[in-house]
C-alpha cells in the first residue's frame, strides 16, 4: 500500500466505524474478545495500536500477559486468561493468548507433551463455552514470509527505538522457523473450527494487513451504528473577581531547549 494518503484516509474511516462499534458494545452490554497471534515481527502490535487508538480505554483493554508466576503454574492452564475476559460492554484484545501453549511453549519445550495434547483437546471446548455464553470471539493469525521477517528483524537491530522488540525468545524462534510452522499447522488442525474459526491475515504488507484485519473485524461484529449524541457547550460564566495566581507560585515544567530539526 504505497499511497500513504489513501492508507491514512481508509484507516481513519475504519477507525470511525470502530468507535461506532464500541458504542454498540456499550449500549447492548456485549462482550468482545479479539485474539491476535502470529509470527514474530508480523505486525501484531501495529494492528492492535490502530484498533485501540480512538477507542475509550475504560471499555477497551489490551491483555498482554507476562510469563506465568509460580502460583499460576499450578493453576488450570486457562485460569489466568479467564480473569482478563470482558464484562458487559467491554472489548478485550489478547496480545498473545492461551495459544502460547500451542506455539512458543510447544516449540521451546516449556510444556510437556501431555500438557500440550491436553490443551489441544480442551481449547475447542473452552472456546465453545465462551461463545455459548454470548461472548463474540474473533481469532486472527498474522502470517509473514521468512524473507520479510528477516528484513524486519534487521531493521529492528539498526533502529534504537525498535531494538527493544527483539527479545532472546524472538532470536531463538528465528532459528526454529520450521518448528513454528509445524506447530501452527497442528494448532489449526485442532482449533480452526466452524464455530471458532481462525482468520489468517497476510502481513507482508503491514498497512494492507491492518486495513484488511480491521475491515474484517467490522464485518463480522453485528453492530448497528448509533447516532453520535449532540453536544452543545453552555456559555462560560464570567470570571467575576477571580484572578489567576502569579506563575512564580508554582513549579512549571521548563521549555525543552534542544534544537528541533
Question: What pLDDT band is residue 261 in, cutting at 50, 70 and 90?
Answer: low
β-pair partners for 32 = 91, 136
Across the range 245-253, mean pLDDT stands at: 90
* Highest-pLDDT range among 144-158, 203-217, 221-235: 203-217
Distances (CA, A) of 220 to 47, 97, 135, 214: 17, 21, 13, 10
- Of 2-11, 49-58, 118-127, 191-200, the range with the lowest mean pLDDT is 2-11
DSSP 48-80: HHHHHTTS-TTTEEEE---S--HHHHTS-TTHH
What is residue 7's predicted lDDT score, i.e. its pLDDT? 96
Q: Cβ distance 94 to 103 under 8 Å?
A: no
| Cα gap 34→37, rounded to integer Å | 10
Across the range 198-208, mean pLDDT stands at: 96
- Of 75-89, 91-105, 229-243, the range with the lowest mean pLDDT is 229-243
Q: Does the pLDDT value for residue 1 go beyond 60?
A: no
What is residue 150's predicted lDDT score, i.e. its pLDDT? 81
What is residue 146's predicted lDDT score, i.e. its pLDDT? 85
Return the CATH superfamily for domain 4-230.
P-loop containing nucleotide triphosphate hydrolases (3.40.50.300)
What are the pLDDT digits (tens) for 75-87? Answer: 999 999 999 999 9
| Cα gap 215→23, rounded to integer Å | 17
What is residue 32's predicted lDDT score, i.e. its pLDDT? 98
DSSP state at residue 158: T
Q: Cβ distance 201 to 38 under 8 Å?
A: yes
Q: Is the CA virtual torsion 26, 27, 33, 39 positive or negative?
A: negative
Domain ranges of the chain: 4-230
What is residue 3's predicted lDDT score, i.e. its pLDDT? 67
What are the pLDDT digits (tens) for 10-32? Answer: 999 999 999 999 999 999 999 99
Distances (CA, A) of 195 to 29, 32, 137: 22, 15, 10
Q: How much of the chain exceeds pLDDT 90, in percent?
A: 70
What are the pLDDT digits (tens) for 47-56? Answer: 999 999 999 9
* Residue 152 CB neighbour total at 10 angstroms: 21
Across the range 116-135, mean pLDDT stands at: 98
What are the pLDDT digits (tens) for 133-156? Answer: 999 999 999 999 888 888 887 888
Amino acid at each position: 500500500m504505497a499511497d500513504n494518503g489513501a492508507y491514512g484516509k481508509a484507516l481513519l474511516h475504519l477507525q470511525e466505524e470502530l468507535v461506532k462499534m464500541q458504542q454498540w458494545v456499550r449500549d447492548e452490554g456485549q462482550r468482545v474478545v479479539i485474539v491476535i497471534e502470529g509470527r514474530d515481527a508480523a505486525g501484531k502490535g501495529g494492528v492492535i495500536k490502530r484498533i485501540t487508538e480512538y477507542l475509550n480505554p475504560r471499555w477497551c483493554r489490551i491483555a498482554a500477559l507476562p510469563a506465568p508466576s509460580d502460583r499460576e503454574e499450578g493453576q488450570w492452564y486457562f485460569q489466568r486468561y479467564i480473569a482478563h475476559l470482558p464484562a458487559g460492554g467491554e472489548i478485550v484484545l489478547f496480545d498473545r493468548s492461551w495459544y502460547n501453549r500451542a506455539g512458543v511453549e510447544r516449540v521451546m519445550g516449556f510444556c510437556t507433551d501431555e500438557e500440550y495434547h491436553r490443551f489441544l483437546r480442551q481449547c475447542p471446548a473452552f472456546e465453545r463455552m465462551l461463545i455459548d455464553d454470548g461472548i463474540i470471539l474473533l481469532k486472527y493469525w498474522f502470517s509473514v514470509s521468512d524473507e520479510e521477517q528477516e528484513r524486519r528483524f534487521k531493521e529492528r537491530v539498526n533502529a534504537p527505538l525498535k531494538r527493544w522488540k527483539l527479545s532472546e525468545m524472538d532470536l531463538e524462534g528465528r532459528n526454529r522457523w520450521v518448528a513454528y510452522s509445524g506447530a501452527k499447522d497442528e494448532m489449526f488442525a485442532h482449533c480452526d473450527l466452524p464455530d471458532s474459526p481462525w482468520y489468517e491475515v497476510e502481513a507482508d504488507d503491514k498497512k494492507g494487513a491492518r486495513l484488511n484485519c480491521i475491515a474484517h473485524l467490522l464485518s463480522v461484529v453485528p453492530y448497528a451504528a448509533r447516532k453520535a449524541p449532540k453536544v452543545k457547550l453552555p456559555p462560560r460564566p464570567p470570571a467575576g473577581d477571580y484572578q489567576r495566581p502569579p506563575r512564580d507560585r508554582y513549579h512549571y515544567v521548563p521549555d525543552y531547549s534542544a534544537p528541533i530539526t
